[in-house]
Chain A
Amino acid sequence: DQQVKQNSPSLSVQEGRISILNCDYTNSMFDYFLWYKKYPAEGPTFLISISSIKDKNEDGRFTVFLNKSAKHLSLHIVPSQPGDSAVYFCAASAGGGNNDMRFGAGTRLTVKP
């Protein structure tokens, strides 16, 4: 049972434009959400997170938006750069101090020069 879903397996955008990656979740107990970035032959690396008490968190070119009523979050990258080309995983946690997370299947982003 996939509690975290990334319905777009891939996304292609032009350099300089905005990239929007989407994620949906089903478990209403999730209260913390993260985005990870993964390059080939490497492990995922933490990118940005958001707590359920917020609806937006920004870090440089990266912004995560959370819509709790829709159980939906998105990652915006502006402007997109070729080095952003990677697989992006959405993850969610119900907290409780265990840091147990559930991941989506990932979206492969390609930024074309």
Chain B
Amino acid sequence: DAGVIQSPRHEVTEMGQEVTLRCKPISGHNSLFWYRQTMMRGLELLIYFNNNVPIDDSGMPEDRFSAKMPNASFSTLKIQPSEPRDSAVYFCASSSTGGPYQPQHFGDGTRLSIL
């Protein structure tokens, strides 16, 4: 059974470039979450979607960050323009809201380095 799939696994780019991270959630899951992991702050929730609709984007650091979920099987997180302080590991997770308290299932992350 396929888990959450993220691409690319690693991204190295220069400051000012546009970066797009991709996520395919587990089939049948209707909630999708984007997190950023840093040494200082651990796992920070950036944004999450229910049934493809953004519910809470209060964790998005600034307007340079945007996320979309055009359909139930695909989501993107875009940074434009990128800055060195955006360097981190970005995780996507999905879960089912068919019942209460469903654990989130994580992808293996995208390690982003902005030079």
Query: A residues engaging B (CB < 8 A)?
Result: 2, 6, 32, 34, 36, 41-46, 49, 51, 89, 93, 95, 97-106
Contact = CB atoms under 8 A, between A and B. Distances in A.
A100 B101 contact: no
B104 A99 contact: yes
Contacts of A106: 42-43
B43 A45 contact: no
A93 B42 contact: no
B106 A49 contact: no
B50 interface: yes
Given A43-B107, A43-B108, A49-B103, A102 B97 contact: no
Interface of B: 4, 31, 33, 35, 40-45, 48, 50, 55-56, 91, 93, 95, 97, 100-109
A95 B4 contact: no
Interface of B is mostly: strand
B102 A99 contact: yes
B103 A105 contact: no
A42 B43 contact: no
Nearest to B100: A95
Contacts of A95: 100-101
A101 B45 CA distance: 8
Contacts of B4: 43
